[in-house]
Chains A and B, each alone.
Chain A
Amino acid sequence: MTGPALGPEAWALGPSVLRDMHKIRVVIAKPGLDGHDRGAKVIARALRDAGMEVIYTGLRQTPEQIVNAALQEDADVIGLSILSGAHMHICPRVVELLREKGLTEVLVVVGGIIPDTDVPKLNAIGVEGIFQPGTPMQDIVDFIDRHTRARVASNS
């Protein structure tokens, strides 16, 4: 994980300090044609209130646009909000594009109406966090915090 604002002296301080200094950067994206953005907006705000840097892409983003946003914003996390049932189309494409661009460090999570039967399939392709209806915001904040922290630790 590299933060553009951090100099070598910060990196020398070790992972826990790094994490405190480097704000976790999250791209929240709404792929597909669906316009129901209540969840995306609420979680964007919750992550921001938890101290993360949140970039919300707005509606109807293609996987290409989302991955480009993650690249440009130097994101640690991509959060996808999908309620329309198109997750098995969209998630694999996002993961594949991240791999093509060498962004394998980016944590991919998805929230929305995801049937139980699709959860292991999404996990298998590398979507690490899957948040179904009723998930408390704090659980999502904690999940992202824990997983990005683990990455900082393993990279240093």
Chain B
Amino acid sequence: MGAPADTTHAKRVVERLYTPDSIASLEYERDLGDPGQYPYTRGIHASGYRGKPWTMRQFAGFGTPEETNERYRQLLEAGGTGLSVAFDLPTLMGRDPDHELSLGEVGKCGVSIASLADMEALFEGIDLGAITTSMTINGPASMILAMYLVLAEQRGTDWRTLSGTIQNDILKEFIAQKEFIYPPRPSMRLVTDVFAFCAEQMPRWNTISVSGYHIREAGATAAQELAFTLRDGIEYVQYGIDAGLAVDAFAPRISFFFNSHSDFFEELAKFRAARRIWACVMRDRFKAHSPRSWQLRFHAQTAGVSLTAQQPYNNVVRTALQAMAAVLGGAQSLHTNALDEALALPTAEAATLALRTQQIIAEETGITEVVDPLGGSYYVEALTTALEKEALVYFDTIDRMGGMVAAIERGYPQREIAESAYRSQQAIETREQIIVGVNQFTADEEAPIKTLYIDEAAQQRQLARLDEIRRRRDSRRVAAALAALEAGAATGANTMPLLLDAVRAYATLGEMCDRLRKVWGEYVESPVI
């Protein structure tokens, strides 16, 4: 194929009918394999969901740590099997609640975590050794991980038993979600510091969740999501190797996170293609020997961007279908969005219904009985191969640019996504793409639904706690730990042990991040429209 900008935006042609001819070049052993066999197109476990059901992991967080702790206990009591922390914007940006940019944002889009004291309140009464926790944070991933580790240490929970995931995927922040702090290259060092630290100390922890979710939400097509996410994965593996790590020492703890969108077959084919591409990349490009390095494990979340504010109950149906695609695609864990999320963070009732949607799929539909039940479908296999090919074209382009960091620095994936976002909005405007309740089958009058409203009280409580921590702690110990962090960042020291010391002294997130800002500077994006 020629210039990717011209070819990859072209709409893939969908035939009326797929036949054996559509997959004539497919070889079972080479291209599919049984579940549990290389290249894992059909799944990483031979027994599928019979052996291990997916984890029902509902992303949640708002207001103060106490409020979020209450929501977590509700979700666990309702049969949720893992936790997933949503942080507020000041936390995601490494700013304390009293920073001028934080005002008005504390606790609004997630929970506010400014110091170890907040982490203690967040997990009050929850046994860290008995649950798995996913933490969606990237710029300050290592600081938040350090807080979780010190909390475990205080409670006598062995770090080696901790299981969960830190998102820690800074590349997709530059590409799509835009919650970056430092420039790309020092940011990559923080990521590889976590790889190295966890390889020694946290064998059951996923050190990164390479995320296509946000790339898709920003407007990427399924093929772009697949391509940019896996190419980010390649970049992380390369940086890990360049930092002196053996590939099989850290690659098995790399996990992925994809969007499960509305085009049903395209989505489940995307997950299958992702497994095949990754297995091939790890074995052939990086010469990994361990099958665990070859196996792509992923979390899926239904598409937030597909939720509509109009006729919000329609969102329950959309989410159920998207969740089905993720399950048929072999997801290891899943978040289902709540019906009210185009309007606000979900109410407890809406969040419970979202979880029930997963439970109905798992317990009532019977689709979990058979591994990769759509494997061998002429259409699904042809689509899996088509998506794989489209992704490999992007790999070539990005490789020629010198890798993903270089491509990001020239704005390439950002531009590709902006183009797709504009095209998909135009398709909605012209009704080439129908959105029920929005541009077709609309209703004149709609009864409003109850939504969650987060007031300013959370901010007041967080400011008060921050103030109290600053008064109570040993300020000399804090100063020494922060000075050591700054010095370590300026040399090549692994930052994790230094961050752990700062957290133990109750240094705040903003204080730790500011020290690194001093050394590395802040990233300012030149916007691409």
A interface vs B, CB < 8 Å?
Answer: 32-38, 41-42, 44-46, 48, 54, 56-60, 62, 84-86, 88-90, 113, 115-117, 132-134, 136-138
| Contact A59 B104, CB 8 Å, known A113-B343, A133-B309 | no
CB-CB contacts below 8 Å: B86-118 with A? 89-90, 92-93, 95, 101-105, 108-109
Contact B529 A138 (CB under 8 A): no
| Contact A113 B421, CB 8 Å, known A84-B105, A84-B109, A86-B108 | no
Contact A113 B344 (CB under 8 A): yes
Contact B525 A59 (CB under 8 A): yes
Asked if B310 lies at the interface with its beta carbon under 8 angstroms from chain A, I say: yes
Q: Which residues of A contact B93 (CB under 8 A)?
A: 33
Contact A133 B308 (CB under 8 A): yes
Smallest CB separation, B93 vs chain A (Å): 5
Contact A33 B527 (CB under 8 A): no
Q: Which residues of B contact A134 (CB under 8 A)?
A: 308-310, 342, 435, 438
Asked if B70 lies at the interface with its beta carbon under 8 angstroms from chain A, I say: no
Contact A45 B451 (CB under 8 A): no
**B contacts with A: majority SS:** loop
Contact B101 A33 (CB under 8 A): yes
A32 and B454 alpha carbons, distance in the complex (Å): 17
Contact B529 A115 (CB under 8 A): no
Nearest opposing residue in chain A for B424, CB measure: A42
| Contact A46 B425, CB 8 Å, known A38-B217, A88-B104, A133-B308 | yes
B304-317 interface mask toward A, CB cutoff 8 Å, 1 = contact, 0 = none? 01001110000000
Smallest CB separation, B173 vs chain A (Å): 8
Nearest opposing residue in chain B for A138, CB measure: B429
A34 and B525 alpha carbons, distance in the complex (Å): 14
A85 and B439 alpha carbons, distance in the complex (Å): 26
Contact A85 B178 (CB under 8 A): no
| Contact A38 B89, CB 8 Å, known A89-B103, A115-B451 | no
Smallest CB separation, B226 vs chain A (Å): 19
Q: Which residues of A contact B90 (CB under 8 A)?
A: 33
Interface centre among B95, B425, B428, B525 (most CB of A within 10 A): B425
Q: Which residues of A contact B179 (CB under 8 A)?
A: 33, 35
Q: Of the candidates A45, A48, A58, A60, which one forms a contact with B101 in the assembled complex, judged by CB atoms under 8 Å apart?
A: A60
| Contact A85 B454, CB 8 Å, known A33-B105, A46-B425 | yes
